[in-house]
A and B are shown apart, each in its own frame.
Chain A
Amino acid sequence: MTAAKTTTTAPGPEPLGLSAYGAGDALGLWVWLEHHGGVLENVGRELLGKGRLLADQLGAPLVGVLLGRREDLLVPAAEAVALAADEVVLVAHPLLAQYTTDAYTKAFDRIVRAEKPAILLLGATPDGRDLAGRLAVRLYTGLTADCTDLAIEPQTGLLLSRVAGFGGGIEALIKCPWHRPQMATVRPGVFATPVPRPPAAGTGVIRELAVTLTPTDVRVEVLERAVLSGAGLGAAPAVVIGGGGTRGDFRLLGDLAELLGGQVGASRVAVDQGWIGRERQIGQTGTVVRPKLAIACGVSGASQFTVGIDAADTVIAINTDAEAPICEVADYAVVDDLFRVLPPLLAELGHRVKGS
């Protein structure tokens, strides 16, 4: 490592109106592989799967990027190669052990300027959005947020990112013609998780890049980080979700979830009320689920919530308000009080199975 440069003033972008490098120098599709202690966020896998298709279209390498402590990186690196990556770039440093905006932005800025990828994709998780928004300005490049699809424009080879605005009512295709890298955050759950390749089908290189970081680079101290272990929402075939209409009583929802072999989820309103743990939150700042069946009980259905169930095969809503937005994104909307509907529903399901 080289001697540390102590920065007293914050590194801001140079106001040149130019990105760090031009389209002519840019090559490769990069995917940030967000992980927590070596356990990958699933959106990273999803991006490797989609990224493989896009990279093949471009004839460009697909590169996974892992930042963190060295001992946390080797297992996810091997997984990324097995899934799709031509190459995995490791940036190992003790100051990257947990996510901080300052350290991750600096590390990414350095490796992007050195390696000049054409495209950089990140999951639209809370940390992914935090990092991408800052990094795009430091690199002076274009960023498309919370994309629901990605494609390559045939004539130009540019990344076309699909975004939804106005609560999902409007969709737009966004491109970044001149600045590099073309950055996008992608909504978790919109792309399928790829299955590992047979070992003969692809080989990948794992390469380490050194970045100089010093404690003074990190202005924000993490005093506490409490992540509750996953509630198994991602793999559940059915998710029974409670919102403000539960008034904090999740007992019937738990019974139904158990009967269906599923899990209990919650809207942000219910979590913010302290009725249930944040590990069960569905939606933009929580988990995006792809179950066969989502049953939303007493959830009004703000767009930040409905992105979390958009990929469900079937959506059932139980809500007293027929005008609630949730009814617009439901296959079946029961207009009634959930406390009146769930008891006979439980009886109906339990009874029928016992008789079979």
Chain B
Amino acid sequence: MQRDQSPTPHGTRMPGAGHAAIGPLHIVVCIKAVPKPEEVRVNLETRTLDRGSARTEINPADQHALEMALALRDRYGGRVSLLSMGPPLFIPYLRVGLAMGADDAYLLSDRAFGGADTLATSYTLAKGVERIGRETGGYDLVLCGEESSDGATAQVPPGLAEWLGVPQAMYAGAVSLEAARSGAASNGRRLRVRREIKGGHEVLRLPLPAVLSVATGANVPRFFDPARRPWAAAAHVVVWDAAALAVDPTLVGTFGSATQVAAVEQAGRAERRRVVIRGTPAEEARALATVIRGVLGNGQAAPRSPS
């Protein structure tokens, strides 16, 4: 197999001082280009989504995953690879990721991948991660956004972890690397992950490799680096089709999907009154108080006894 030879501006990063013993990390970041949610409409005749008029962006949650990957690489050294599945028009968005700091980019692109639900998508991405691993001497970590802004299922990261047969942690906030007590597993390294759960948090320790989804509150994604732009614009993006990935054709695209869309509708959003109140603060407060008393009744707005 041919390894991607495209040079990066900086090459493989050396670990930061003090972390040399524990790095480096090869991190694969899954990103998706999505239409801006508010610009998508349903074509009521064809009952399909009309994305044509909508502008496209890197899924916002995936930018947090990329930021976490870049920060981990800055700390421990190593390499950040971008992985996406979609048509060739996704390539410019991969270049944005390269300009933000990623070292290389891979696109899984084939007509046979189209119409995939999360079952088929997670399978196809897993085949991509495995091949990246084979060609680069292995991967340590896969980072995903917590969910996409279009489908919002949050199902791909755990599905991907299962196809890869590796542990997972969803909604990761802070991640660090630590040495394992016994060196037998994970090349002597483990991941310490703080994740959000309902009403609190968990701290987990898991072996590498692993799949994490990154909580959107975990960080503030960096802007692209202007100095990297010329390189990113010309960098080689590796494109693999179904044959190159040696996928099972029954597991990809529409054919490999277990779910079907029975109907698509533009959501009715008329249930709220959407009354706009403007005025002086006193006028606004008076109007609001009337609304509140109407909703809760006078009895519920009783003051507590002063304590």
Contacts and interface: CB of A to CB of B under 8 A. Distances in A.
A17 B123 CA distance: 11
Contact of A175 (B38, B167, B196, B262): B262
Contacts of A235: none
Given A314-B295, A349-B301, A176 B200 contact: no
Nearest to A273: B217
A344 to B, nearest CB: 4
B19 interface: no
Contacts of A313: 295
A88 interface: no
B10 interface: no
Interface in B84-134: 117-119, 122-123
A185 to B, nearest CB: 8
B259 A146 contact: no
Given A292-B296, A349-B301, A353-B302, A278 B155 contact: no
Contact of B204 (A172, A174, A223, A352): A223
B303 A136 contact: no
A356 B298 contact: yes
A144 interface: yes
A198 interface: no
Interface in A266-280: 268-269, 271-272, 278-279
Contacts of B77: none
Contacts of A174: 259-262
28 contacts: A12-B163, A12-B165, A133-B158, A137-B123, A143-B153, A145-B118, A145-B151, A145-B152, A165-B151, A169-B266, A170-B267, A171-B267, A172-B265, A220-B167, A220-B168, A228-B200, A230-B199, A258-B304, A260-B301, A261-B301, A279-B199, A285-B196, A313-B295, A316-B292, A331-B272, A332-B277, A349-B289, A354-B303
B3 interface: no
B261 A322 contact: no
A268 B64 CA distance: 15
Contacts of A9: 165
Given A130-B168, A260-B301, A170 B206 contact: no
B288 A332 contact: yes
B175 interface: no
A138 B162 contact: yes
A212 interface: no
Contact of A17 (B122, B201, B248): B248
Given A10-B167, A129-B155, A142-B258, 7 more contacts: A10-B166, A142-B119, A224-B201, A224-B203, A268-B216, A292-B295, A341-B281
A340 interface: yes
A179 interface: yes
Contact of A327 (B192, B274, B292): B274
A71 interface: no
Contacts of A140: 119, 258
A348 B201 CA distance: 39
Contacts of A220: 167-169, 204-206
A227 to B, nearest CB: 4
A315 B206 CA distance: 42
Contact of A261 (B167, B259, B281, B300): B300
Interface of B: 35, 37-38, 40, 42, 49, 117-119, 122-123, 149-159, 161-171, 192, 196-207, 215-217, 248, 250-251, 256-267, 269, 272-278, 281-282, 284-289, 291-293, 295-296, 298, 300-304
Given A167-B149, A328-B274, A348-B289, A13 B162 contact: yes
A129 B291 CA distance: 37
Interface residues on A, range: 35 or more
A207 interface: no
A222 interface: yes
6 smallest beta-carbon distances between A and B, as pairs: A142-B258, A133-B158, A10-B165, A272-B217, A145-B153, A344-B285
Interface of A: 9-13, 15, 17, 19, 41, 101-102, 105, 125-127, 129-134, 136-138, 140-146, 153, 160, 163-179, 219-228, 230, 237-238, 258-261, 268-269, 271-272, 278-279, 281, 285-287, 292-293, 295, 303-304, 313-316, 322, 327-336, 340-341, 343-345, 347-350, 352-354, 356
A126 B288 contact: no
A130 B159 CA distance: 9
B225 to A, nearest CB: 25
A125 B170 CA distance: 12
B69 to A, nearest CB: 19
Q: Which of B119, B201, B207, B250 has the most CB of A within 10 A?
A: B119
Given A15-B248, A174-B262, A228-B199, A331 B275 contact: yes
Given A145-B155, A146-B152, A137 B163 contact: yes
Contacts of B119: 136-137, 140-143
Contacts of A166: 35, 37-38, 40, 49, 149-150
Contacts of A125: 198
Contacts of A271: 217
Contacts of B198: 41, 125-127, 227, 285-287
